[in-house]
Structure 1
Amino acid sequence: MVHRQPVVLAIEDESAQREIIRYNLEADGFRVVTAEDGEEGLLLAIEETPDLILLDWMLPKVSGIEVCRQLKARPETRNIPVIMLSARSEDLDKVRGLETGADDYIVKPYSVLELMARLRTQLRRTRPSSVGERLAFGDIVLDSAEHRVYRAGQPVSLGPTEFRLLSTMMEKPGRVWTREQLLDHVWGRDIYIETRTIDVHVGRLRKALMQNGGEDPIRTVRGTGYALG
């Protein structure tokens, strides 16, 4: 089993632009979800909880600016990076887009290379393991590019599911993950697995991380789920 693909939601009304975005992102290992108007985009942002949103300024039904405002006002979508795409190149328009909450602003026509570079910059901030970064928490180091884990300098042997579980938790240390959230992030939302299975894999992960001594780094939050640290 492979690490969960980063999900990008592209809200773009021009079909040719949508296909260019889809083709290039899928070729680079992303899962792409698309919307043709602002209304559909807002619904998909809630349903899919993407890792990043590409948002066109000029959209039917609900404008890109209003979509961005609503995304940043909602607790469940507030932390998703938004890159605004616009043919408006005036500084005032850029300022307006960024003040509405967009994390970056790209002027059309843009090069695909520039789009990919900006997109990776945003993902590096919010989901470092998806772009091959090393993650560290206390004496635990996870190298997602080499698919290796170390604790206090000693290699830790993990199965693929335990590796994904640790990588998900290390991206946001201290965050309490419900079992349902871990199911979505580690197994994928379309797969049916009993929540008890998560407890089994967390148990295996704990055992592996403590095989050479050291405190248990995983905290059980009764009635809710798990947290790292």
Structure 2
Amino acid sequence: MASHKILVIDDSRVIRNMVKDMLPKGNFQVLEAKDGSEGINLIRQEHPNLIMLDFLLPRVSGWEVFEQLHAQPELRAPLVLMSGRKEEVTEKLQEPFEYFEFIEKPFEQRELVEAIKSAMSKFRNWPAPSTPSMGTEQVVAGNAEEIQALNDKIAKMQAEIDMLKKQMVQILTFIRQKFK
């Protein structure tokens, strides 16, 4: 039984097989996903120790998978982002890449091994889930405060509407008296 799991998310079977063949022999299992949706499901089920992610994927893009990894720390693992078009990656993610490694396709085995080592190192620098600028409790509290503020505004507006209705009745009564 393999103690480590490597997930390769790429729509190209050729790339998935190439990555599998290039990986150094070891005590790990290689999992494969052909699109981002399948990849996210495998991440949730298998909790891989390394994720190799193509940026351009069908159904759910690599960018969307990356966003989910970033937003849900429990899904994170060392990440190697792969693409044949680096400019599309840098449009969304600014260099230098702090918490993951990027490798441009096509790549050689040596480059892949170096990218994996770098991804492992960079992953250690990814802020822990407890250190984001606004934690879940703060977000929920912030939302509750916003809801209360909106409810207060609604109540104030309703009071103004009621006052305007009362004034309208008074004006109509005054006008009717003048026409009698």
1:94 is matched by which residue type in structure 2?
T
The residue that corresponds to 1:72 in the other structure is 70
The residue that corresponds to 2:92 in the other structure is 96
Q: How far, CA to CA, are the matches of 2:94 and 2:30 in structure 1?
A: 24
Q: 1:106 aligns with which of 93, 103, 108?
A: 103
CA-CA distance at 1:22 after TM superposition:
1.5
Q: How far, CA to CA, are the matches of 1:102 and 1:126 in structure 2?
A: 5
Structure 1: 5+ residue stretches without partners: 128-229
For the pair shown, which has the larger CA radius of gyration, 1 or 2?
A: 2
Q: Which has the higher contact order (CA 8 A, sep 6+)?
A: 2
- Equivalent residues of 2:99, 2:122 under 8 A apart: no
Q: What does 1:101-140 align with in structure 2 at a 5 Å threshold?
A: 103-124=100-121
1:24 is matched by which residue type in structure 2?
M
Q: How far, CA to CA, are the matches of 1:97 and 1:31 in structure 2?
A: 29
CA-CA distance at 1:23 after TM superposition:
2.1
SS state of the match for residue 110, structure 1?
A: coil
2:92 is matched by which residue type in structure 1?
R
The residue that corresponds to 1:20 in the other structure is 18
The residue that corresponds to 1:59 in the other structure is 57
1:122 is matched by which residue type in structure 2?
A
Q: How far, CA to CA, are the matches of 1:58 and 1:64 in structure 2?
A: 6
C-alpha distance 98-15 of structure 1, shift in aligned 2 (>3 A): farther
- Equivalent residues of 2:99, 2:123 under 8 A apart: no
Higher share of residues assigned helix: 2
Aligned residues: 123
Q: What does 1:68-217 align with in structure 2 at a 5 Å threshold?
A: 68-78=66-76, 80-90=77-87, 93-94=89-90, 96-97=92-93, 103-124=100-121
- Equivalent residues of 1:84, 1:97 under 8 A apart: no
The residue that corresponds to 1:42 in the other structure is 40
Quote the RMSD (CA, aligned, Å).
Answer: 2.7
- Equivalent residues of 1:72, 1:101 under 8 A apart: no
CA-CA distance at 1:89 after TM superposition:
2.7
Q: Note the alpha carbon deviations across 1:168-192, whole angstroms, 9 max, x for none.
A: xxxxxxxxxxxxxxxxxxxxxxxxx
C-alpha distance 125-70 of structure 1, shift in aligned 2 (>3 A): closer
2:60 is matched by which residue type in structure 1?
V
Q: Note the alpha carbon deviations across 1:178-219, whole angstroms, 9 max, x for none.
A: xxxxxxxxxxxxxxxxxxxxxxxxxxxxxxxxxxxxxxxxxx
